[in-house]
Amino acid sequence: MVNFFTLLTGYPGASGFGSGTTAEQVTQGIDASNLTAIVTGGSSGIGLETARVLALRNAHVFIAARNMSAANEAKQLILAQNKSARIDILNLDLCSIKSVTECAHHFLSLNLPLNILINNAGIMFCPFQLSEDGVELQFATNHLGHFLFTNLLLNKMKQTAKVTGIQGRIVILSSIAHVHTYPGGIIFDKINDENSYSDKRAYGQSKLANVLHANELSRRLKAEGANVTVNSIHPGLIMTNLMKHSYFLIRFINLLTRLLWKSVPQGAATTCYAALHPSLKGETGKYFVDCNELEPIALAKDEALAKKLWDFSEDLVKSASKLKQIN
């Protein structure tokens, strides 16, 4: 679990970084000018900071977001601070299989390399809703959309790594909330059951799915010898728009636990560390907190559960796609 001493003090761990490290500090001296990256949810919060810092380190960054106006504002904000930044935007609604597919195909049509994929976007603690494809919204947005998006871009990442010799990196944002989920971890037979729905446990379920997805994808890529790593991270407690559905509860918790919360630049540090730092070359299937490896809960390391989730996710995408075609 999280080391509360280092969390409170910001004292660095084995990596040399800690909870007080910012994204700029963790990437200091790194030249990413030969890298192309996609950051989902890069129009605000730690996604925006991640995109800004990757661009600061000279990467070509694509901000993939649902709100194109906000994405363009983010782009202009980055360009205002860094006129040489290479920033583009993509239209991506993760709770729509149609949008995810179109976004991936649009990027592929540009015939650009893809070195880094950061699955950052998400929603949190929302009331029970179904996506347009009929899937519970937190599971659809936080896991299923990213699962499909990653699979659609995976061949491009493997091809890029093979041609350039530069190892590809996939970073999947999870949360310490993966510890608070339904009994058994994933309620496969009740994903869309409103009667058993808990906004907090559903969020934890989706975050557990993020770690399981990263671990299973990592195993598959290693088995085929692909030069692409996959790691999951907990960015920390950060007050962002992600909290909007439980604003007053989160504000109250924030007042009681103020010393545990991070700034946005600190919140983006672990993402940027996993995406760019040379010390993580070849490191895959791991979970990072405060820029240091940490053991997730036992459910997150359950290979059988990860395989079941993978198969379930594939079937869910296929069935939702067929339903969309019928309608």
| Stretch 218-233: mean pLDDT | 98
Closest CA to 52 of 70, 74, 67: 74
5 pLDDT higher than 90: no
9 pLDDT higher than 60: no
Q: What pTM was estimated for this model as a whole?
A: 0.92
Which amino acid, one-letter code, is at 72?
N
CATH number of 4-326: 3.40.50.720
| Stretch 65-81: mean pLDDT | 98
pLDDT in tens, 240-298: 554 444 455 545 444 444 456 799 999 999 999 999 999 999 999 999 999 999 999 99
How far apart, in Å, are the Cα atoms of 16 and each of 161, 170, 176, 277?
Answer: 28, 22, 21, 12
pLDDT of residue 323: 55
pLDDT in tens, 128-157: 999 999 999 999 999 999 999 999 999 999
pLDDT of residue 245: 45
pLDDT > 70: what percent of the chain? 88
Catalytic residues: 197
116-119 sheet: strands from edge to edge:
86-91, 60-65, 36-40, 116-119, 168-173, 228-234, 287-289, 292-293
With a CB cutoff of 8 Å and minimum separation 6, the contacts of 60 are 35, 36, 37, 86, 88, 112
